[in-house]
Amino acid sequence: MRPKERRDSGQNDLFRARLDQIVDLDHALAKLGRAIDWRFLEQRFGAVYTDKVGHPPLPTRLMAGLSILKHMHNLSDEDLCARWVENPYYQLFCGEEFFRHKLTFDRSSLTRWRQRMGEERLTALVQESLSVAVRTGAAKPTDFSKVIVDTTVQPKAVAFPTDARLMHRARERLVKLARKTGVELRQSYARVGKHALIAHQRYAHAKQFKRANRALRTIRTYLGRVIRDIGRKIRDEAELESAFAHPLMLARRVREQRQHQRGRKVYSLHAPEVECIGKGKAHRPYEFGVKVSLAATLHRSQGGQFIAHVKALPGNPYDGHTLAAVIPEIETQVGANLARIVADRGYRGHNAPPEHKFKVYISGQRRRVTKTIKRELRRRPAVEPVIGHVKAEHRMGRNYLAGTHGDAANAVLAAAGYNFRRLLEWLALLVSIILATLTAPDDQKSHPTAA
């Protein structure tokens, strides 16, 4: 069933005041709500619904507005629900006509809506943010013809992985599941396993690595015994085998992997899709998450520097090999052909499409570089503060959404939140300029200048 979209009825209530009568309509958030084309978002997001009979979903403006507010102000789902109830501007932004004293949605509604939309449709929020920037004068269409492309790591909400802790956690998860399903084990190793983990950590901290490795072998032995014991107990039990299939697979991978093993490893049991990525940072040699490609405008617009495209790249691909997929998506999203793409030296040997091969310029390049291009190449580091703001203020610095689809959705929503935050500041600046202009004559009258 399709959602019942909200429209301004213009009706009054005898016992309640309309939100547009009790708030300042010149507030930046109120002006942003009027500038967004909600019909466009309803059309894009409404494609996932059918006309079948069922419980009607929540309105698109409510859910899209909540997602924008969440990543624009760096809020968790719980904090967003608490603020929505007490903030009339949040409710007006989400399409409410009258002030609500109770939530009209559930906290889990945000999770279900994100999973239903997916990365492909959530990109409409980034696309609409760029359209609003053009309509409000914060950017010009020509600003999106030249972009800076760079990659960063979106860390996952996981602890720093060590072999000892991973094997200890794998054994604990198997024992917990065995108790839940009624499988009786010969021994759980709960007490001695904890002591072995503590011993390993203490020996490693004291740099007594022979003793630490001995404790690590003990932890591995305990895990292997639990795996074999469960395998014997659930043999020929189809229901139990299906329940233990995924935990046993992860436990075997954790037990068999070694420290210097090449290829994919398990770094987290609750997020096995996490990858180890090294970006050459001295303060953080390795990060655990997913690589993300980000494209920002080359020159700063009047409203700031906007993000034109963002995409999660699972598999830790080489930076230069991402342009074949990224460049066509950027052009589709901004609705214009790219005239110039600036990148760092990590994009050498790129595989850009043939028609864009000579539009990509790498830092330090000497051939085909004019004075104008040389000046624009010096703008390449301007993408770094954009990445820093997206990570620190818009929830890309630590991703709490589950699975690979959560990685992709969080990156897109973080970019949308960043763009709308720039628009919010731009509209607030316009309001302050208008107010200063209107009050200037009164100030001059009250404080006349000496002749």
Question: How many distinct helices (H) and strands (E) make up the chain?
Answer: 15, 6
Instruction: Look at residue 446 in the predicted model and tell me its pLDDT.
Output: 54
What whole-number percentage of the chain has pLDDT above 70? 97
CA pair distance 269, 263, nearest whole angstrom: 17
d(CA 198, CA 203): 9
Q: Using one digit for the tens of pLDDT, what is the confidence trace for 313-329?
A: 999 999 999 999 999 99
DSSP letter for each residue of 168-234: HHHHHHHHHHHHHHTPPPS---HHHHHHHHHHHHHHHHTT-HHHHHHHHHHHHHHHHHHHHHHHHHT
Stretch 140-145: mean pLDDT: 93
451 pLDDT above the threshold of 70: no
What global pTM score does this model have?
0.90
Q: Is the pLDDT of residue 434 over 80?
A: no
pLDDT for 11 equals 80
pLDDT in tens, 323-370: 999 999 999 999 889 999 999 999 998 999 999 999 999 998 888 899
Q: Provide the b/e sequence for 119-157 (b: ≥16 CB within 10 Å).
A: bebbbbbbbbbbbbbeebebbeeebbbbbbbbbbbbbbe
Closest CA to 305 of 418, 199, 185, 166: 418
pLDDT above 70 (res 448): no
Give the pLDDT band of residue 307 (cuts 50, 70, 90). Answer: very high
User: What value does the mean pLDDT take over residues 388-410?
Assistant: 94
| Cross-strand partners of 261 | none
Q: What pLDDT score does 443 carry? A: 54
Give 437-447 pLDDT, tens digit per residue: 777 765 555 55
